[in-house]
C-alpha cells in the first residue's frame, strides 16, 4: 500500500507540473475532443491521419506540438487514475478501515478530476472549470502526501500551544492564493502587469469586480482569455496583494515553528519555500513569464502546500496523543 501510495504521489507531482506546462504552452485545446485526440487515441502523425483530423474538426487545425503536450498530460493522468484504483482495491485487504475510506475517497476525487478535465475541453477552457481542475490536482497531491505520512510510524514533535490557529490562518491564506493564481492563469492575466512594484500606474481606477464572476463573459471559446484589460489587471493585482498577506501569514507560522525545537525543520522549509516562491513570482514579471519560471512557480505553490500539510499532520498527531505529548514536553524542557 505504501509503495503504491509513494508511486501515486510522485506521479501526481508529474501530472501537476505537466498540467501547468500544458496550460502555459496554450495546449489546453491541443486536442479538441476527449479522451482521444482528433478521434485517435494518440497524436495523429501520418499524412492520412492529419487529413482525417482536418475533416473531423475543420475549425480546430491540428498543431502537433500542442496535441502532444495535451496527450502526454492525459496519459500521465490516466496512469494516475489506474494507480489510485489499484490502491483502492488493495485497501480492501488493509486491517484499518480508515485506509479503505481514504483510498476510495481518493478514487472518487480522481473521477471528479477526470470529469473536470473533460469539461475543460468540451467547455473550451471555461475559466471556472480550469481553476477547479487545477485545485483538484493540488488537493489529490496533498491527500496522497497525507496518506503517505499516515502510513509511517507516528511522531509527536509538537510542544506548546497556540499553533493551531496560526496554522489554519496560514493554510487558508495559501489556499486562497493558489485559487487566485489559478484564476490568473485561466484568464490569461499573468502578463496584465509588466512593472514592479506597481501595476500600470493608477491601477485602483481600473479595478473591476466583474473580473471575479465565476462564469465571466459568455463566449464560445475562452482560449487566450475574453476579459477586458482592466479586468485582467484587477485579477493580477489581487493575486499580488494577497501574495503579501499570504507571505506574512506563512512567515508568522514559520517563526512560531522555529521556536519549537522539534518543529524547527518545518519552519526552515517553510521559510525557504516561501522565499523561492516569491523570487519566482518576481521573476515572472521581470522576465515576462518565461515558460520554465512559470512552471516552477506552479510547482512552488504545490511545495508550500505540501509543507503545510506535513506541518498540520505533526500538530494533529500531538493533539491526538496528549499523554505522549506531555512526556515529550517534559523531555524537551529537561534538555
List residues with catalytic annotation.
Answer: 70
Q: How far apart are CA 110 and CA 131, in angstroms?
A: 16
Q: How far apart are CA 220 and CA 125, in angstroms?
A: 10
| Per-residue cell: 96 | 484499518
Helix (H, G, I), strand (E, B) or coil at 120: helix
Report angle CA 261, 263, 264 to the nearest 5 degrees.
65
Query: In the 8-state DSSP scheme, what is residue 123?
Result: T
Q: Which of 288, 282, 320 is nearest to 300 (CA)?
A: 282
Q: How far apart are CA 302 and CA 296, in angstroms?
A: 10
CA 64 to chain centre: 27
Handedness of CA 30, 33, 39, 40 (dihedral sign): positive
Q: How far apart are CA 51 and CA 332, in angstroms?
A: 72
242's enclosing H/E stretch is helix 229-258
283 in Cβ contact with 217 (< 8 Å)? no
Amino acid at each position: 500500500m505504501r509503495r503504491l501510495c509513494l508511486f501515486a504521489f510522485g506521479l501526481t507531482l508529474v501530472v501537476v507540473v505537466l498540467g501547468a506546462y500544458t496550460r502555459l504552452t496554450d495546449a489546453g485545446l491541443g486536442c479538441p475532443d476527449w479522451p482521444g485526440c482528433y478521434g485517435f487515441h494518440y497524436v495523429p502523425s501520418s499524412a492520412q491521419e492529419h487529413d482525417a483530423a482536418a475533416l473531423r474538426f475543420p475549425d480546430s487545425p491540428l498543431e502537433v506540438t500542442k496535441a502532444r503536450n495535451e496527450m502526454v498530460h492525459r496519459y500521465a493522468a490516466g496512469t494516475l487514475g489506474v494507480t489510485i484504483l489499484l490502491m483502492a482495491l488493495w485497501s480492501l485487504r488493509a486491517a484499518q478501515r480508515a485506509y479503505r475510506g481514504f483510498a476510495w475517497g481518493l478514487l472518487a476525487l480522481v473521477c471528479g478530476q477526470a470529469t473536470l478535465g473533460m469539461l475543460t475541453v468540451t467547455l473550451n477552457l471555461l475559466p471556472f472549470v480550469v481553476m477547479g481542475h487545477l485545485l483538484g490536482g493540488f488537493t489529490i497531491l496533498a491527500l496522497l502526501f497525507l496518506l503517505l505520512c499516515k502510513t509511517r510510524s507516528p511522531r509527536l514533535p509538537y510542544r506548546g500551544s497556540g499553533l493551531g490557529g496560526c496554522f489554519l490562518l496560514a493554510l487558508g491564506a495559501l489556499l486562497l492564493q493558489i485559487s487566485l493564481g489559478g484564476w490568473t492563469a485561466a484568464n490569461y492575466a499573468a502578463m496584465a502587469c509588466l512593472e514592479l512594484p506597481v501595476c500600470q500606474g493608477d491601477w485602483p481606477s481600473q479595478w473591476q469586480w466583474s473580473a471575479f464572476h465565476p462564469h465571466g463573459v459568455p463566449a464560445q471559446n475562452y482560449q487566450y482569455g475574453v476579459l477586458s484589460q482592466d479586468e485582467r489587471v484587477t485579477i493580477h493585482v489581487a493575486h499580488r496583494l494577497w501574495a503579501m498577506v499570504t507571505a506574512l501569514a506563512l512567515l508568522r507560522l514559520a517563526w512560531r515553528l522555529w521556536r519549537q525545537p522539534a518543529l524547527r525543520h518545518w519552519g526552515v522549509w517553510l521559510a525557504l519555500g516561501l522565499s523561492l516562491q516569491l523570487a519566482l513570482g518576481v521573476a515572472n514579471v521581470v522576465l515576462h513569464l518565461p515558460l520554465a519560471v512559470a512552471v516552477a512557480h506552479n510547482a512552488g505553490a504545490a511545495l508550500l502546500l505540501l509543507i503545510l500539510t506535513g506541518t498540520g499532520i505533526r500538530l494533529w498527531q500531538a493533539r491526538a496523543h496528549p499523554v505522549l505529548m506531555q512526556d515529550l514536553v517534559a523531555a524537551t524542557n529537561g534538555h
